[in-house]
Amino acid sequence: MGATDVDPFEYLTRPPPNETPEERTIRERKEVEAKKVSDQIDEEIRKERAVMKKQQNAVRVLLLGQSESGKSTTLKNFRMRYAREEWQAELASWRTVIQLNLIRSVLSILDAVQSELDNDPAEPPGTPGADETEFLHTPTDGSTSPALASPAFNHPSSSKPGQRRPSVSSIHRQLQSKASSSSLRKDALGGKESSLLGGQHQLLKLRLAPLRRVETDLRRQLGASADDEVVDGAASDEYGALGQVDAGSSVRSTGLRRRTTARKEVSVRRLKDALSGGDRAGKSKGHSRTNSEGSGDDAVDEATDVIAKCKDDIKALWMDEAVRLVLKKRKIRLEDSAGFFLDDVDRIAAREYVPSDDDVVRARLRTLGVQEYRITVDQPGSVLSGLGATGSEWLLYDVGGSRTMRHAWIPYFENITAIIFLAPVSCFDERLLEDSRINRLEDSFLLWRHVCSSKLLQKTSLILFMNKCDLLKRKLKMGVKVNKYLPSYADRPNEAGHVVKYLKEKFRDIVKANAPEGGRVAYYYATSVTDTKTTYTTLKAVKDIILRDHLKNADFV
């Protein structure tokens, strides 16, 4: 550029000739505003680059497995150990979920009691596997009998001002009258009245009726989706392991227990939104009510108040020997289901109750959407700690496990560091809720085969949690025979250790059969993820494996 040449930038920014002072002021103000916008854009670009650089070094872990395999519980264990501050901030918010779990267990018992009083068959005629032992409870159908809907039996918390609560003796007289007329109707129809239950159980059922309204309130607080009828995929060929039904089966499908339920579980889209909703609702109601035995300083929300007043009746129902016989007769085992808290009624029904770590890990709330969490994994004093921040930040993804949601898995396969696959080993005698033709253990094998054969996951670390070993031990002790459902198990010992070892070899064979050129290594753990202490030991080992593989792929080791 010569000395006489004009600078293009200076020429473009040169003030116009004959510019007035007012025009100059306007121009300079616009230039300042334009520079401010430019600076903001530059700052956003710098932040995006920093985030991208950070995410390039982040460890991405995908939790996979069928519904109710333990994915959410494993995620809770990770967060409890490696995102402690955020975890503790959430503890109180889980109270609504745990209260809902408790109430739904009570309502399951009440429905069984009602069915027994009505002489309904324990297993509908023609139900697949009606002769097999049922280990999972049947949720309530949400219906209320005419007796329960009667205003005369409302809980005091729902009574109108000035309305007197009926005495126990008056309720008992009405129950005897109803029971007598019911018995006459049954005799006329040739039926027989249940010999297990009596008037005291009718009384308990009516006194616990307010819990149905509380259940509805808690569901609303959590933003739970409406209950819909569960569609059995056996009626069509629409769904398979990842969208299509696979031919062939290594597990016997005949004689299996179908896990029938009257309605879907309580489910939410995003766990964070549900917890924040329940927490806000509890706080807003907490200042509007006081308990009937204390002062205004001991404010509690309505749900907590009703549960506290029903505590003795809940305990009486759960500890009643006749009720236990009814549950056994109807093959309902609440204690083996997720979200079981009936043995902790004294603690959970207290007005000042705050959930513990173990309570939250055991709580059950089904999530429909993809849950993403960040945790920071530090390695103080380890050989990996000198490598800087690489691998210290983890992204954990918990995706839905039901068959209708597995199409959402594939997009998460790309650039994933590790997959923790959960296969519940206690479900060898159970069918999928979504498709009564498919054994749950068979479904886990099919899913594991899809994962191992995916080209997107050839460099991904594979970690298998053979989960629910505690339930497996309990089931085998009750006399359930594995070889009845898994003929290839033959005459091996019907013991948990031998079963887990056998299944481990089956999963390992699938890895070998689908390994890329050069072979592949997978890691196997027998777990019970509701046991937080032993799970922590497993997570520490898994953490080291994932970090080592991540750094190896990043050319650090």
CATH code of the domain in which 455 resides: 3.40.50.300
Percent of the chain scoring above 90 in pLDDT:
36
For residue 169, say whether it is annotated as part of any ligand binding site.
Answer: no
CA distance 105 to 158: 22
The encoded tokens of residue 529 equal 């993820």
> Is residue 80 domain-shared with residue 98, that is, in the same domain?
no
> Is residue 79 domain-shared with residue 207, that is, in the same domain?
no
192 phi, psi to nearest 5 deg: -130, 140
Specify if 344 maps to a domain.
yes
More confident residue, 35 or 261: 35
Specify if 48 maps to a domain.
no
The encoded tokens of residue 294 equal 């204390």
Query: 102-141 pLDDT, tens per residue?
Result: 999 999 999 999 988 888 876 654 444 433 333 333 333 3
CA distance 479 to 473: 10
> Is residue 328 domain-shared with residue 450, that is, in the same domain?
no
CA distance 328 to 137: 11
Residue 428 has pLDDT above 90, yes or no: yes
Q: Is 465 exposed, middle or buried (0-12, 13-18, 19+ CB in 10 A)?
A: buried
User: At 489, is the secondary structure helix, strand, or coil?
Assistant: helix
CA distance 170 to 149: 17
The 10 Å Cβ neighbour count of residue 103 is 25
Residue 477 has pLDDT above 70, yes or no: yes
Identity of the amino acid at 196: L
CA distance 310 to 315: 9
More confident residue, 32 or 554: 32
More confident residue, 60 or 269: 60
Query: 165-189 pLDDT, tens per residue?
Result: 444 445 445 544 444 444 433 443 3
> Is residue 211 domain-shared with residue 330, that is, in the same domain?
yes
222 phi, psi to nearest 5 deg: -80, -10
> Is residue 491 domain-shared with residue 511, that is, in the same domain?
yes
Specify if 153 maps to a domain.
no
> What does the pLDDT average to over 59-75?
91
The predicted pLDDT at position 312 comes to 94
For residue 514, say whether it is annotated as part of any ligand binding site.
Answer: no
Banded model confidence at residue 551, pLDDT cuts 50, 70, 90: confident
Q: Alpha carbon 449 to chain centroid distance? A: 24
Q: Alpha carbon 542 to chain centroid distance? A: 22
H helices of 66-143, in order, are 71-82, 84-90, 95-117
Among 77-81, 181-185, 224-228, 519-523, where is mean pLDDT lowest?
181-185
Banded model confidence at residue 522, pLDDT cuts 50, 70, 90: very high
> Is residue 428 domain-shared with residue 473, that is, in the same domain?
yes
Specify if 106 maps to a domain.
yes
Banded model confidence at residue 4, pLDDT cuts 50, 70, 90: low
> Is residue 82 domain-shared with residue 100, that is, in the same domain?
no
The predicted pLDDT at position 279 comes to 58
For residue 469, say whether it is annotated as part of any ligand binding site.
Answer: yes
> What does the pLDDT average to over 483-493?
93
> What does the pLDDT average to over 437-451?
92
**DSSP 8-state secondary structure symbol assigned to residue 509:** H
> Is residue 402 domain-shared with residue 548, that is, in the same domain?
yes
> Is residue 71 domain-shared with residue 216, that is, in the same domain?
no
The predicted pLDDT at position 370 comes to 83
The predicted pLDDT at position 256 comes to 52
Specify if 451 maps to a domain.
yes
Task: Give the Å distances, CA to CA, from 251 to 15, 146, 429.
Answer: 84, 45, 10
Query: 307-317 pLDDT, tens per residue?
Result: 999 999 999 99
Banded model confidence at residue 441, pLDDT cuts 50, 70, 90: very high
User: At 136, is the secondary structure helix, strand, or coil?
Assistant: coil
Residue 525 has pLDDT above 90, yes or no: yes
Q: Is residue 78 within 8 Å of 396, Cβ to Cβ?
A: yes
CA-based nearest residue to 74, from 544, 507, 463 = 463
Banded model confidence at residue 263, pLDDT cuts 50, 70, 90: very low
**DSSP 8-state secondary structure symbol assigned to residue 439:** B
The domain that contains 320 carries what CATH number? 1.10.400
> What does the pLDDT average to over 392-416?
82
For residue 367, say whether it is annotated as part of any ligand binding site.
Answer: yes
357 phi, psi to nearest 5 deg: -60, -45
CA distance 109 to 329: 12
Banded model confidence at residue 212, pLDDT cuts 50, 70, 90: very high
> Is residue 331 domain-shared with residue 374, that is, in the same domain?
no
The encoded tokens of residue 381 equal 């004093």
Residue 197 has pLDDT above 90, yes or no: no
Show the domain range for 409.
61-87+368-379+392-552
The pTM assigned to this predicted structure is 0.71
The predicted pLDDT at position 233 comes to 47
> Is residue 116 domain-shared with residue 217, that is, in the same domain?
yes
The predicted pLDDT at position 451 comes to 92
Residue 541 has pLDDT above 70, yes or no: yes
| Mean pLDDT, rounded, of the chain | 76
Query: 320-362 pLDDT, tens per residue?
Result: 999 999 998 888 888 877 788 999 999 999 999 999 999 999 9
Residue with tokens 């209260």: 99
> Is residue 68 domain-shared with residue 210, that is, in the same domain?
no
Query: 274-291 pLDDT, tens per residue?
Result: 887 655 555 554 444 444
Residue 31 has pLDDT above 60, yes or no: yes
Specify if 46 maps to a domain.
no
The predicted pLDDT at position 225 comes to 64
C-alpha count within 13 angstroms, C-beta hemisphere, residue 545: 20
Specify if 4 maps to a domain.
no
Residue 244 has pLDDT above 50, yes or no: no
Query: Euclidean distance between the first and final Cα of the chain, in Å?
Result: 52
For residue 415, say whether it is annotated as part of any ligand binding site.
Answer: no
User: Which residue(s) pair with 467 in the sheet?
Assistant: 424
CA-based nearest residue to 61, from 413, 456, 387, 504 = 413
Q: Is residue 102 within 8 Å of 450, Cβ to Cβ?
A: no
Specify if 402 maps to a domain.
yes
Kindly write down the DSSP assignment for every residue of 538-550, as one continuous string. Answer: HHHHHHHHHHHHH
59 phi, psi to nearest 5 deg: -90, 125
> What does the pLDDT average to over 415-442?
89
Pairing type for strands 430-431 and 418-424 reads unpaired
Q: How many domains does the chain have?
A: 2
More confident residue, 55 or 88: 88
